[in-house]
Structure 1
């Protein structure tokens, strides 16, 4: 891509790629099934300290601060990390609820080939760099092997249909993101994610966990919204159930695309609230200082989109820290346990011809097109991509303290999916492109854009335009996994930029205390 040893694109190369680029289409000729492979290819990042300015002194506990303002200062437990997964069926489990309110118990269903197992609950956060604190542990319990589930032939939906193994109490657990670690007596381990959600985010930054997207890619039982048992896209599920474990380590999407942001946000000490995309009610969003969507949040209900738009128009700042956000329209059925998404087979959706706005096609597609760009400011352009992230507005407030200059580049930060500003589709204006990164999507030249706009309510809206942003918060640690080749320089840049974002957005409508966007779309797109 013309990167020189200094991490900068030459001006000639940059302008040459700009001149060659077109508006482009999505997917770059790749199938939707291949997209799943790309999105699931990232490994689980390693741990390590985040390089940030020193933190302020501990708040007075007598002042009853929100949980996340004192939780970050408590001692953690680095032993939360699973050491040995073993065979796929060694131990695995799932909860009967995606999220619970504090103090509400959750039912856990476990299958294991061992004669005994136990469960340990960890709250994820800063904790002095340990990144988790143990809040509860069960006794050793008798293990049993449960079945491989049943398949609904009409939609090819897998249901595990396991018996209840135990009830997990959450009394005294602060709101937050949790991992329940299952340990078998044979030494094998798996995770089960659980969000203890907030009822009120007034004055706080609301972190939204992408539970629907976790489940869409879940291949447990041989089926997901991308693949069927035979590995083909045509045999995929048309609806997927939460009544089954997650595949692989049990929490891959959370660990790759969300954990790094949780750790950073808690370390910064900004007041936080927690929920999932399935729980975005007017009550929880009312008065939120900011609403933050993490590294991969593709599947949204139209109801969630309306709530987020209303929150933005009421003054809540919105951040999209991934790409391909709000791309698929879904429907939730069976008391919140079933995600329906027919995608390009939308004519087979029972809502087709009855309720067009509820048909589970892509948001931009018929029968009720409503491109995501009207909210996010950017438009999903395709995959696969792997390119440097190129800064074009180095003096923007988001980049304060990073030391970047125009055309500075950060290798591999753009990928594997990306978004761009596309003037031909609904796009809020004025909007400022602060990073404009030339790339090749397959054989097609295009760009990824980071963009920022504000609304009359004062709300600021920022989109990174790349799916690797949250992953980059963990990149480049010595001895850690290679995260697409991203290095420590990239980690420091993304960490500081994200810290600037979170601190500014926590202060309330960014349009009231940060410089307004300067519309520069014409400089990049005729």
Structure 2
């Protein structure tokens, strides 16, 4: 308690006292700083802006800031973002005017052919030696003019490369920079093609004050961090850049988290996450539109040539041709047209289960059916009382502003479970690989599957999942809503099934790990029957049921090509699937069930039907025609005989 009290008033003396790294609970028990003192409006004061020379640093390293201002002096306050009894951040250091260098920096470097704006030629203006026992987190340097007190933010991440927390949360900084238009260019506007092809981390980050403020950290990721730390989850942090350059760190944790709007992923970033999954690390995508654009990295163009400072995305999907001079494609991950043979297209649902379908701005609740509500994900939420025909809405305005669906596109993971299905009419549904949108009816899904490594992979399929967890965040569209205890409880349930538990849970939450279930379910096929005869090019209806021990059936998959491809059926306990044979043959219909723990039936149930061709169809038609004509002729003859007999009786 003495050390804790000391930390409340003097961070430096706290470290000098020899305290070990604080737990998330102890860290957030410290007194926070009121948001009125640490926050800024939008992108802050335009007359004082800056950036860190690296998006992240390890504990014990030095973070350096480059600041431009016309003020004669400025100072810096360092804050760690968290919950802190609702305050949202805590001051951890002050850097006085005597330790800073105020200067109006030179014009940023520009590369006309790509639209790159790189301010790496600026001078270092201030620095902070991160204490070796600092808690990993998202940090903010608040740079403040000494004359007017105008202030702006510089964001960076403090890593813990030696630690192994339960949860490792990745910031969506690649997406921040894609939308960042400091200097006039971003991946959405400017030169040379109405957009830049390259953007630099060597720039102040002004997304929060632009038309793209909906994609900022403060709108989408901040509430997730507040909720995790408020409930005492053992969480540490890394940047999207680190996922690419330090992917080995992921394997030291039980769970890797993507949150908010996590749209831009490089090849090495995805490879490292997939390798961690294959090694048994769980994945949770509390995000939407994630892993959509494929990127690559180049060094900065300033004299330092620092690696991982230039984010490259030519968006060849928009161009309709190969324009990136690199052999690698930088279109959408799902676009196969420009990928070299050794780097084929990988739709994002192959990694996370869902795939982006709707662009801006429909805000709706998550719809859970009675069958879906039986899944262990929804335990202790009160949804288990639904009757068979009912559904319920949870998380008002959680589906938005960009969101995903479970599509049967050939990349759907085996054993994928739909935990919700929200059917919506939208004006901007994606119609191709990533360029054209139009009105359509599409379905949002929350999904879960168990990878063959044993890891669980969850996808919320929306950028706004955090809004249901914590109500403090930027709300650019003014459509926010109260938090939802049922989605909070479901998130606790998910993490518990990954053996991750809150050390200081909200009193309204029930923290239980459901009994483990390792017994797979069994699907049965009721119709058609084995060797039943069906006609070529006529639909075949397949139906059946499923049972499970220790859980509930949660999904059915059907194959009609010997198991090469699997497709989701409609329904669960009672299910159906329709397909149309495209050739004459014996067709083996396979069905397998998956339960709410992600256990997939290892040996599918099967029936074999006989599919006859057009010749038989024509023959059957001719036979029918002949028989029909014969019947008509017999009827005509019989009628004629009756008429003749009647005439004879009348003496005619």
TM-score normalised over the length of structure 2 = 0.65
Residue by residue over 1:111-155, the C-alpha shift from the partner in whole angstroms, topping out at 9 and shown as x without a partner, is 123332211111111222222111111112463322442320121
Q: Which has the higher strand share?
A: 2
Preserved contact between residue 86 and residue 188 of structure 1 (Cα < 8 Å): no
Q: Of 173, 183, 189, which residue of structure 2 is paired with 1:211?
A: 173
Contact 1:198/1:284, CA 8 A, preserved across alignment: no
Aligned residue number for residue 368 of structure 2: 391
- The question of 1:339 aligning with 2:349 is answered no
Give the one of 366, 390, 409 matched to 1:424: 409
d(CA) in 2 for partners of 1:512, 1:179: 42
Distance 1:66 1:309, change over 3 A: farther
Paired position in structure 2 for 1:146: 105
Q: Tell which has more relative contact order, 1 or 2 (C-alpha 8 A, sep 6+).
A: 1
For each residue in 1:413-445, what CA deviation from the matched residue of structure 2 results, as whole angstroms up to 9, or x when unmatched?
211211111112301121111111111221211
Q: Secondary structure at the match of 2:271?
A: helix
Which of 326, 332, 345 is residue 291 of structure 2 equivalent to?
A: 326
2:560 maps to what in 1? none
- Aligned residues: CA RMSD: 2.9
The match for 2:281 among 292, 316, 320 is: 316
Determine the structure 2 residue equivalent to 1:350.
325
Which of 360, 370, 379 is matched with 1:400 structurally?
379
Decide whether aligned partners of structure 1 residues 522 and 63 sit closer, same or farther in structure 2, where only a CA change above 3 A counts.
farther
Secondary structure at the aligned position of 1:220 is classed as coil
Instruction: Call closer, same or farther: CA 1:249–1:187 in 2, change over 3 Å.
Output: farther
Aligned to 1:36: none
Structure 2 counterpart of 1:522: 569
Q: Hey, what's the Cα distance between the residues in 1 that align with 2:228 and 2:73?
A: 37
1:198 matched to which residue of 2?
160
Q: Does 1:265 align with 2:220?
A: no
Structure 1 CA distance, aligned partners of 2:467 and 2:409?
A: 30
Match of 1:91 in 2: 48
Give me the whole-angstrom Cα distance separating, in 1, the residues matched to 2:188 and 2:334: 19
Does 2:330 align with 1:360? yes
Within the candidate set 485, 489, 493, 2:486 is matched to 493
Separation (CA, whole Å) in 2 of partners of 1:427 and 1:84:
42
Question: Normalising to structure 1: TM-score of the pair?
Answer: 0.79
The within-5 A match list for 1:266-285 is 266-280=229-243, 281-285=246-250
The Cα of 1:385 is off from its aligned counterpart by 4.2
| SS of aligned partner of 2:122 | coil
Match for residue 198 of structure 2 among 232, 236, 239 = 239
Bigger Rg, which one: 2
Structure 2's unaligned 5+ residue stretches are 1-16, 300-306, 428-438, 502-512, 518-550, 557-567, 572-576, 579-652
Structure 1 454/167 Cα, relative in aligned 2: closer, same or farther at 3 Å?
same
Aligned residues: 454
**1:415 maps to 2:400:** yes
Give the whole-Å Cα distance in 1 for the aligned partners of 2:553 and 2:273: 21
Q: Specify every segment of 5 or more residues in structure 1 that has no aligned partner in the other structure, as ranges.
A: 1-60, 353-357
CA drift of 1:244 comes to 0.8
Shift of 1:382: 2.6
Distance 1:86 1:180 in 2: 13
Superposed counterparts of 1:63-212, under 5 Å: 67-79=23-35, 80-83=37-40, 89-140=46-97, 141=100, 143-160=102-119, 161-172=121-132, 173-185=134-146, 186-200=148-162, 202=164, 204-212=166-174
1:276-335: per-residue Cα shift (whole Å, max 9, x none)? Answer: 122123431124211110111111111121111121122111000111111111111100
1:378/1:463 contact within 8 Å kept: yes
